[in-house]
Structure 1
Amino acid sequence: MARARITIDRDFTIADVPRRLFGSFVEHMGRCVYTGIFEPGHPQADERGFRRDVLALVDELGPTVVRYPGGNFVSGYRWEDGVGPVAERPRRLDGAWHTVETNAFGLHEFAAWADEAGVEIMEAVNLGTRGVEEARALVEYANHPGGTHWSDLRRANGAEKPFDIRLWCLGNELDGPWQIGHKTAHEYGRLAQETAKAMRLVDPTIELVAVGSSNRQMPTFGTWEHTVLTHAYDEVDYISMHAYYQEHDGDAASFLAEAVDMDAFIDGVVATVDAVKAAGKHRKRVDISFDEWNVWYQRGLDTDDQPHLVARRWREHPRLIEDAYNVTDAVVVGTFLHSLLRHGDRVRIANQAQLVNVIAPIRSEEGGPAWRQSIFWPFARMARLARGRILRLAVDASRIATARHGDVDAVDAAATWDEETGAVALFLANRSLSEPGDVTVDLHGLAATAIRSAEVLTVPEGGDRFTANLAHAQDAVGLVALDAAALVDGSLRATLPPLSWAVVVLDVARV
């Protein structure tokens, strides 16, 4: 049996829980927008074409901020194409995903959807094929009250009040050769600096995210961040991180430990940011926006619905990377959320990519149902229960050998304490594929009075680690009661099933 002893002290905390840590991402890619959040004519669509069944699941999932409209898509996007009368909007070829963009859904539609969903907008500007003037104009269109060309055009297009978008991305993955408008670090750093200045001259209250490395394996990782921030440090508030993980060649042990890589990735970017701060004698702090992360089985950009045949590429919203997530994936996603929470002092924004259909916690079918994928559950519970202060845990756990990451803790954990509600929320993952996890949690400065709730996601009866929620079996994987949890002499004792993610909420009082 794997064992773990976790010590919590009321006075050892990391930061307040950043509410933007539980963000998501809507890109004009595949079926995320069209037949995902937006499907006029669907039995569950409202008068604006928003799928109410998807909105209900988004509400349950609990994202606080949603990045839009890309992603790779934004590097070739003309934002003006998505405003004004729908019948007059142009159809464009999207070179990023080899599809036809109808522009039936644009900024006004997304702003209305975000308002309905109760999420903050994180808007990305195109710094691939466009630049300073187009970004400045978009801020004026979105945020200026009126009396100017772009703000009056917004009003003429039906939005009398500004959209008041606070959070902006200065492009997307421009270090990547696959990106439309790929740039060197010096080219992008100068462009980001000047674009940021121009955007803030329109609205000085906005927050700006500079593009960091597309992943930790990029040959320019580290030097890219250093160069970009050497140019733009004073003009930006965050630098972005992107990371996707998958199981390779049946190596489940390494896959279950990928949060170790995420931890190291974050620590490396923070070190680089702070080195630029010190060298430049800057006074403010630049933080991290981890605005793309998830499990993604990168088998190729196209699915069976869109083969690599040029004659069939240019289609409207084909199926793209619609991964079906299983129990193993859900446990891994849980550990990624732990990593982000443990770094909540510097990772102030995070967006799981994407929201619907495209590597997403929510799936939907055109004209048909919408349902929760396995990875829905860790996100939904942490978004709802992680409140107050992030606790700094001392963990002494059994170790598991992995090929990619060496020996790692069998039990991974994160926790928060909300003094207002008197609750400690413990988030736990057992990485072992075969051994239960015997967990003891000792509290100092706090006394546990009751277990408010205890749930676990694990292999369902009759299933295996590859069991997933599908259209014909939408509830195969989910949270069930964790019966093996009790308070013993003031400590929590819990036994986690092999391959599981759990959340335990304790009622606590100061001592």
Structure 2
Amino acid sequence: MTTARITVDPGFVVGPVRRRTFGSFVEHLGRSVYTGIHEPAHPSADDGGSRTDVLELVRELGVSTVRYPGGNFVSSYRWEDGVGPREQRPVRLDLAWHSAEPNTFGLDEFMRWCVKAGVEPMMAINLGTRGITEALDILEYCNVAGGTAVSEQRRRNGAERPYGVKMWCLGNELDGPWQVGHKTAHEYGRLAAEVGRAMRMVDPDLELVACGSSNTGMPTFGEWERVVLTETYDVVDLISAHAYYWEEDGDLGSFLASAVDMDEFIAGVTATADAVGAAKKTDKKIHVSFDEWNVWYQTRAESKVPEGADWPVAPVLLEDRYNVADAVVVGNLLISLLRHTDRVHSASLAQLVNVIAPIMTEPGGPSWRQTTFHPFALTARHAKGDVLRVSVSSETYDTARFGAVPVIDAVATHDEETSEITVFAVNRSVGDATRVAVDLRAFGDGSVIEALELSNPDLTWHATAEDSTSVLPKPLADVKVESGRLTAVLPPVSWAMIRISTA
């Protein structure tokens, strides 16, 4: 058994733990909304049609923000269709996912759901088929107290007080030719700048997110960010990053190292943003909103959209069943997001319910937690205070995609108020347990509060409605702290969380 050495020191602060790192995403896609968060006929439904069993799981998951209503869906969405009396709302074709959108759940229902779930809304606006006027209308509807045509419409629809939405995404993935209203970087950058300036005339304190590349494989990646930020730098606060990771051709080793790709993606986007800032001779920094990230098996049958004359309402789409290896990767991607907390100021796990999601439901039936639920919920609950940059000395293994990669990856957080350190770590080794020796002497002595790990000899195990509890985070055995040195053994392909008190 090899030993990896991790050094944790309170002097190596990256930045604060940001609650918005633990955001998620609800899109009008598949069963995310209908029979996901909203199912009026469900036995658990409240008087607004929200599934209360799902609301309980969302709160347990620890989600901080929810991005809505898309995603690809937003690029042809007319938000006005989803407000007012339900019986008067039109059914529309959703071109993004070849579905029919009944609009029985819309902006007002979403805002009420956010209050119940205890999350901050993060709104995306349509810059695929629309522009300044429509953006100002939805902003007025959401944020103006009253006395104007659109704000009074909201009040007539039952929301006396404004919603006060602070975060706004200026479109979605408009670099992609699959997107309704696909644009060049210059076309999009000009439009986003114009829309952003107009929105700031209503509220100068909005937080605006420009569209970055839809993935690093796009031929325009890098150049897209440069051109878009050249147009929008003075107007926006963040630029989006989107990335999905999945196992290909049985290459488990590369899949387990997906966080290496996320690290490089963040570094590339921030370097480009800083280069634009330097060219503009400004001290302002543009940060990253990693508002779509997850594991997604895009070649599976459930990821194929309907075709032809078939325009179903809420079809089964993108309903991946996540296994143990997927959960370890999700936990590792959260480690990456945390260690970049100085530049990643917001992130959204895509998505929340049913669609590539940690929470699954059956129409009229139960809801349950997928394997990926657990590392997200535990990280969201226990990452507090400051993120610390840790030193990791580990054996490496060879991957087809990334070359030599450390077997152990880790990050730590330190909460001065509670004198608590939390170490999050993964063992990427497919076959071997690895001993970790964590040097905590900079904090003095310490004691273990809690140590959990998620692993299973069967990496393909996934939760179902009938069995969602056979594989859960369990106590990590034989964790010891002596004279400021912690030792533990991480099983192969595992995610772990160790909480230490230094009080």
Q: TM-score range by the shorter chain?
A: over 0.9
Aligned partner of 2:308 in structure 1 is 310
Aligned partner of 2:461 in structure 1 is 467
CA distance in 1 between counterparts of 2:290 and 2:11 reads: 27
CA distance in 2 between counterparts of 1:235 and 1:393 reads: 35
Matches within 5 A, 1:212-361: 212-299=212-299, 303=302, 308-311=306-309, 313-361=310-358
Contact 1:89–1:103 (8 Å) recurs in 2? yes
CA distance in 2 between counterparts of 1:430 and 1:262 reads: 17
Determine which of 396, 400, 404 is the counterpart of 2:397. Answer: 400
Q: Which amino acid in 2 is paired with 1:390?
A: V
Q: Which amino acid in 2 is paired with 1:112?
A: R
1:485 aligns with 2:484: no
Which runs of no fewer than 5 residues in structure 1 stay unpaired? none
CA distance in 2 between counterparts of 1:251 and 1:437 reads: 21
Aligned partner of 2:454 in structure 1 is 457
Deviations 1:287-338 (A, max 9, x none): 00000000000016x629x775423x20100000100000000000111000
Question: Cα 1:79–1:430, aligned 2, differ >3 Å: closer, same or farther?
Answer: same
Deviation at 1:41, TM superposition (A): 1.1
SS of the residue corresponding to residue 465 of structure 1 reads coil
Q: Which amino acid in 1 is paired with 2:484?
A: G
CA distance in 2 between counterparts of 1:63 and 1:194 reads: 32
CA distance in 1 between counterparts of 2:2 and 2:407 reads: 6
Contact 2:441–2:484 (8 Å) recurs in 1? no
SS of the residue corresponding to residue 381 of structure 1 reads helix
Determine which of 356, 366, 371 is the counterpart of 1:369. Answer: 366
Deviation at 1:489, TM superposition (A): 2.7
Deviation at 1:484, TM superposition (A): 2.4
Q: Which amino acid in 2 is paired with 1:226?
A: R
CA distance in 1 between counterparts of 2:207 and 2:53 reads: 32
SS of the residue corresponding to residue 121 of structure 1 reads strand
Determine which of 450, 470, 476 is the counterpart of 2:470. Answer: 476
CA distance in 2 between counterparts of 1:470 and 1:2 reads: 35
Deviations 1:206-234 (A, max 9, x none): 10000000001100000000000000100
Which runs of no fewer than 5 residues in structure 2 stay unpaired? none
Aligned partner of 2:380 in structure 1 is 383
Deviations 1:58-92 (A, max 9, x none): 01100100000000000000000011111111000
Contact 2:322–2:463 (8 Å) recurs in 1? yes
Contact 2:169–2:211 (8 Å) recurs in 1? yes
1:91 aligns with 2:91: yes
Deviation at 1:478, TM superposition (A): 1.3
Contact 2:55–2:117 (8 Å) recurs in 1? yes
CA distance in 2 between counterparts of 1:216 and 1:19 reads: 26
SS of the residue corresponding to residue 498 of structure 2 reads strand
Matches within 5 A, 1:177-192: 177-192=177-192
Deviations 1:150-180 (A, max 9, x none): 1111101110000000000000000000000
Deviations 1:387-434 (A, max 9, x none): 000001011011111111111110110110000011000001000111
CA distance in 2 between counterparts of 1:272 and 1:182 reads: 22
Q: Which amino acid in 2 is paired with 1:13?
A: V
SS of the residue corresponding to residue 193 of structure 2 reads helix
Deviation at 1:439, TM superposition (A): 0.2
1:416 aligns with 2:429: no
SS of the residue corresponding to residue 263 of structure 2 reads helix
Contact 2:98–2:307 (8 Å) recurs in 1? no
Aligned partner of 2:15 in structure 1 is 15
Determine which of 496, 499, 503 is the counterpart of 1:505. Answer: 499
Contact 1:448–1:506 (8 Å) recurs in 2? no
TM-score under structure 2 normalisation?
0.99
SS of the residue corresponding to residue 44 of structure 2 reads coil
Contact 2:441–2:483 (8 Å) recurs in 1? no
Deviations 1:233-263 (A, max 9, x none): 0000000000001001111000000110110
TM-score under structure 1 normalisation?
0.97
Q: Which amino acid in 1 is paired with 2:467?
A: A
CA distance in 2 between counterparts of 1:194 and 1:229 reads: 13
Query: How many residues are paired up?
Result: 503
Deviation at 1:50, TM superposition (A): 0.5
Matches within 5 A, 1:92-111: 92-111=92-111
1:115 aligns with 2:109: no
Deviation at 1:444, TM superposition (A): 3.9
Contact 2:443–2:484 (8 Å) recurs in 1? no
1:72 aligns with 2:72: yes
CA distance in 2 between counterparts of 1:323 and 1:481 reads: 28
CA distance in 1 between counterparts of 2:137 and 2:228 reads: 23
